[in-house]
Structure 1
């Protein structure tokens, strides 16, 4: 057994007082799965084990282990389905270390739907695998914090004190972080710069279109995005309005459930999906605009997620049909707001859940190229994940760090003036590993907004 499998991550005794139970198992299914949507045998058999997925798989690139490749994980699913393997710790580790980046789906010439297989495998694991106390508790703390913007703001205030009081410098100089478990060290390292004005910012509920209205849209403000990247949301609203969109920002929106779904917490994810649908379907809009790749990916799949719910299935399908990434909306609209030049070489990083999961690659580049003076350049190994992958960089910090350093080296190799990517997790991950305050890391919409407003290249925030 390789070292990364032998050592299951622990979070330490600091969380000793918290416990989390597993969901009750359902009826017996094939092999060692239950009957609730186990990995589909027909989808498993689509894999011909050709190996085209191997160069694009981050964990195979790191370790070269067959069972840490997509085809290896599919083989493990088949073994569990046949009853020759169980959901024990060694097998589960192979799936915990999967980033769910879906690069293999893009690369596969046979059209293997690894995304559907993984999203059916992870809930089975969460229902039937008993995690260690530290691992279970750390996961519960993540999901008690990140989907709740109000709680995140309170945590951010603590981060603000930590950064501005000088405590962060003392901790690092004395190497106190070295005494913490890797997961807590990663949490500290990923903490973004916090500004009070961002924590108290409140967007309007409606912004009128500039000039003749062309569309009526509603915007998802997100969870982490709402707290730590308020500038991205503001730029999104301004740009859409400038391009003739009436913009609605529902105040009562909550977490969309993306983090929960990607982690196999299915009941929680489905409840969040229902609430999101109910919130947005109260507004008559042409599109539901998302500026977070992971959220958009999940929201576009609500119809599949809620297929078993007769009350919500059709509503979910109708909702998903309206979900669009902000760059998709802008790429469809002939630019109307004048762009001012920004002379910059911009490295564009495809967020996995935008490029691989949603297959949205051309739109962000096309939108950036509407800015006079911008040169858009792609990165080497563009298909490889940066290591963020939702909360992966917290749950699997060593692997995520290796991937983050690899991505940072590829960014430096193209000598950009700025980096653009459409996901907050990617921005945090690359900010950590590039460690270059002079290199702006931005959402593409921030560059478009700056061009429309006649501003210079935005600086690092």
Structure 2
């Protein structure tokens, strides 16, 4: 029996150790920092019923109790109680968590698992031994992805190589296999890059009577990879009578930094967003990427006490685009699209973190002639999970294959999902499977249905 398994069997009957000096085990993480971030009652909310296990992607794949939400709560509580150190074994079980928060949806006790695993992952990254993450991954996750303009510049050579057919040629002859593993995975996920078009103006007028004034959050990777979806989001909002403001001082939501274990830079980005958006002048802050929306809605919980009041006001304004449109009362599109049958994959941070489930389906069902096919295990993670497909490629691959098998079984022409990471992950698997199925954001379909394209 491993140390982790032993702790899993005993932790539920233990009491927290109050005196740090009495802790029998060197935790390997900063327990005082964790105590400032985690309310110990969050651990005690778990009643160990196990109803979360069937919804956990890693437990479904491995069958290991330590890879379930219940098991990970046992491990984290053991570390905080001072009865277990963060060994390689313990670190592995916690690192493997996708933070998809499907367990929160399944939990009958309302355990806020995200408020446990997220600070714990920060602590794990802060205490990670040298070499835990390659210099290339560190460079990409800390200094490239969170900065949209840098991503656009970095994508320029790839865009040119795609245009002249060189990237496909290099892939065909196998030369892309010479790339470092991280770059090879990134290259495999590259979508067909558009030119990006003109930068959105700072204010876009409503089409028809004005019904609302909203601010559009651009993000970083999402806008750099899919600027056409950003533009489509603005057009759809305009079609629904919204005046759309695009604040110039906005930044990345901070999720990439935060989940990479560097808290202060994440908070700096969050504060830049708090300054950039004039909350009194808009009815909502609109987001079209599930991961960004979940992070923005968590500002009130994550940011330090000095920022709480403004952060909570900000978070209360944040709406996923599908959530906002259904709340507003969407105008029905008049045109059909090229698909007849599509299926919908629930992005984890939309369905579980934001509890936005029916709204994207309602928008899709408005499109004339479009049939929505149910997807088995729609709420199980596809393996993207932000940057998880770069940092945990093996488990990501297993979940990607699982998702693709279910998608193909629907017979749909396209799979639709509300998060850029899911789109990149599923599109890569579709390419590997050699299928013609396409992957799109629901707003892209709705935009074409309005425009008649």
Q: Secondary structure at the match of 1:376?
A: strand
Q: Confirm whether residue 425 of structure 1 aligns to residue 425 of structure 2.
A: no
Of 197, 200, 203, which residue of structure 1 is paired with 2:200?
203
Aligned to 1:452: 450
CA contact (8 A) 1:281 1:319 kept: no
Of 327, 336, 345, which residue of structure 2 is paired with 1:332?
327
Q: Confirm whether residue 253 of structure 1 aligns to residue 243 of structure 2.
A: no
Q: Confirm whether residue 373 of structure 1 aligns to residue 372 of structure 2.
A: no
Q: Which moved more, 1:227-236 or 1:278-287?
A: 278-287
Shift of 1:181: 4.9
Shift of 1:205: 1.1
Shift of 1:177: 4.4
Describe the shift of the 1:29–1:204 C-alpha distance in structure 2 as closer, same or farther (beyond 3 A).
Answer: farther
Aligned to 2:106: 107
Aligned to 1:128: 127
Describe the shift of the 1:337–1:381 C-alpha distance in structure 2 as closer, same or farther (beyond 3 A).
Answer: closer
Q: Secondary structure at the match of 2:270?
A: helix
Describe the shift of the 1:86–1:171 C-alpha distance in structure 2 as closer, same or farther (beyond 3 A).
Answer: farther
Q: Confirm whether residue 286 of structure 1 aligns to residue 286 of structure 2.
A: no
Structure-2 separation of matches of 1:30 and 1:257: 37
Report Cα offsets for 1:390-427 as digits up to 9, x if no partner: 00001111111111111111111111122110001100
Output the aligned Cα RMSD.
2.3
Give the 5 Å matches for 1:225-374.
225-281=222-278, 284-306=281-303, 308-310=304-306, 312-336=307-331, 338-342=333-337, 344-374=340-370
Describe the shift of the 1:51–1:172 C-alpha distance in structure 2 as closer, same or farther (beyond 3 A).
Answer: same
Q: Secondary structure at the match of 1:186?
A: helix
Q: Secondary structure at the match of 1:289?
A: strand
Q: Which moved more, 1:169-178 or 1:252-261?
A: 169-178
Describe the shift of the 1:87–1:129 C-alpha distance in structure 2 as closer, same or farther (beyond 3 A).
Answer: farther
Q: Which moved more, 1:160-169 or 1:229-238?
A: 160-169
Structure-2 separation of matches of 1:439 and 1:131: 42
Structure-1 separation of matches of 2:296 and 2:399: 27
Count of aligned pairs between the two proteins = 427
Describe the shift of the 1:363–1:58 C-alpha distance in structure 2 as closer, same or farther (beyond 3 A).
Answer: same
Structure-1 separation of matches of 2:53 and 2:107: 10
Describe the shift of the 1:29–1:145 C-alpha distance in structure 2 as closer, same or farther (beyond 3 A).
Answer: farther
Shift of 1:37: 4.0
Q: Secondary structure at the match of 1:154?
A: helix
CA contact (8 A) 1:30 1:81 kept: no
Describe the shift of the 1:29–1:302 C-alpha distance in structure 2 as closer, same or farther (beyond 3 A).
Answer: farther
CA contact (8 A) 1:119 1:264 kept: no
Structure-2 separation of matches of 1:164 and 1:94: 42
Shift of 1:285: 0.4
Aligned to 1:224: 221
Shift of 1:446: 1.1
Gapped regions of structure 2 (runs ≥ 5) = 3-19
Report Cα offsets for 1:114-140 as digits up to 9, x if no partner: 111112211221233324265365234
Name the structure with the higher helix share.
2
Normalising to structure 1: TM-score of the pair?
0.87
Aligned to 1:391: 387
Gapped regions of structure 1 (runs ≥ 5) = 3-27, 456-461
Structure-2 separation of matches of 1:210 and 1:166: 39
Aligned to 1:441: 439
CA contact (8 A) 1:408 1:433 kept: yes
CA contact (8 A) 2:118 2:259 kept: yes
Aligned to 1:72: 71
Shift of 1:268: 1.7
Structure-1 separation of matches of 2:418 and 2:392: 22
CA contact (8 A) 1:43 1:112 kept: yes
Structure-2 separation of matches of 1:49 and 1:30: 27
Describe the shift of the 1:341–1:314 C-alpha distance in structure 2 as closer, same or farther (beyond 3 A).
Answer: same
Shift of 1:41: 2.7
Q: Secondary structure at the match of 1:216?
A: strand
Structure-1 separation of matches of 2:239 and 2:79: 53
Structure-1 separation of matches of 2:189 and 2:113: 29
